[in-house]
Amino acid sequence: MSSGVGILGLGKAVPEKVLTNQDLEAMVDTSDEWITTRTGIKQRHIADPDTAASDLGYAAAVEALANAHADAGHIDLIIAATTTPDMPFPATACLIQDRLKARHAAAFDVAAACSGFMYGVEVGKAMMAAGYQKVLVIGVDVISRLIDYKDRSTCVLFGDGAGAAVLGAVRPGYGILASEIGADGSGAMLLHVPAGGSRIPPQIQSIEAGQHYVKMCGREVYKFAVQIICESTERVLEKAGVSVDQIRWFVPHQANVRIIQAAAERLKLDADRVYVNVDRYGNTSAASVPIALAELVESRKLSEGDLILMVGFGAGLTWGSAVLRWGGFEL
Ligand code: UT7
């Protein structure tokens, strides 16, 4: 039996500044009560003006490398999953590569919005099958840069952050047992930022019209989310030959606690197996799944052999999920 592809170590980084529901009450026509009951969010972290995606991504990567006992010089690929890169190019992964002094690493970004980390892990796994040995996958977004803090329907939802994972070989039977990524571009306009790219480049009119901000059809995205979480996770569970009862931790993308609870209920996963931190961070886009995983390890809630079911979903529309058996580190 050949070795598996596992997560050897995780790291996370969030900006210091916290924006609470009470702060938002003073900014838009909203209330702590509405935000809490409709989303489960109590606070989110917001980056200072001089902090960009590569800064948070770098900090998370340093922690992940330390936890994986890995040297940056031994990383042969860096994938940064982000839709808020420092700049259109070069890739944020290249900026992080330079700061890490990961001289032997190729580096590129993947843009799959909130599913970005799951896409990064899938690409990293495939690249390991092609001969790469250690892959650093970073999910990072400074999504606050794309938010209109006058639009109550979006500004209460999101927060900034980064999470990182070092992928490497683990003992057979451990690591990623099954995974998938998918997309349905017919839903592209349900969650998008109209301007700032090649269709509507930055210009005074587009800025005045607020076209460089996130636009979302919340209800449609909500329905898509609950449905795709269930469909995608059921497929990977079947591929892995694992039943839902065997899952120790369900780690879904943290967008809205109601989405998580509705999906968990349909999947018959009771609350003590569902990881939730959306109350503290809001929706951190590509960072949400790796931040949650990093917290699970930090709080020693994971034991050797535990099965984890991860799932991401978001703009694109995109999704990705994976079943991972934790441990098997000593080859
Ligand atoms: O990472 C993936 C991306 N995003 C998601 O997964 C988000 C998916 N969607 C959702 O989580 C939910 O749809 C939202 C949290 C965005 C909205 O919750 P909802 O229960 O679907 O509310 P709604 O959009 O149907 O709005 C209900 C009411 C509306 O008022 P009327 O028309 O009923 O009078 C809104 O104007 O709530 C109003 N509303 C607010 N009220 C106070 C919308 N935002 C706010 C707000 N504070 N912040």
- In the residue annotation, 253 being an active-site residue is answered as yes
3-state secondary structure of 40: coil
Give me the half-sphere count of Cα atoms (radius 13 Å) on the Cβ side of residue 15: 26
Q: According to the model, what pLDDT value does residue 331 have?
A: 75
Question: Is pLDDT above 90 for 139?
Answer: yes
- Between the CA of 17 and the centroid of ligand 1 the distance, in Å, is 25
Q: How far apart are CA 265 and CA 193, in angstroms?
A: 32
The answer on pLDDT for 39 being more than 80 is: yes
Q: What is the pLDDT of residue 2?
A: 82
Q: Verify whether ligand 1 is closer than 6 Å to residue 328 (CB atom).
A: no
CA of 65 to the centre of ligand 1 (A): 38
- The 10s digit of each residue's pLDDT in 286-295 is 999 999 999 9
pLDDT at 330: 80
Please tell me the residue having the least CA distance from ligand 1 atom 14.
218
Residue 206, ligand 1, Cβ within 6 A: no
Q: How far apart are CA 313 and CA 319, in angstroms?
A: 4
190-246 pLDDT, tens digit each: 999 999 999 999 999 999 999 999 999 999 999 999 999 999 999 999 999 999 999
Q: Over the chain, what is the mean pLDDT?
A: 97
Residues 173 and 240: beta-carbon distance below 8 Å: no
Q: How confident is the model at residue 135 (pLDDT cuts 50, 70, 90)?
A: very high
**Domains identified in the chain and CATH numbers:** 4-169 (3.40.47.10), 177-325 (3.40.47.10)
Question: Residue 5: which H helix or E strand, with range?
Answer: strand 4-13
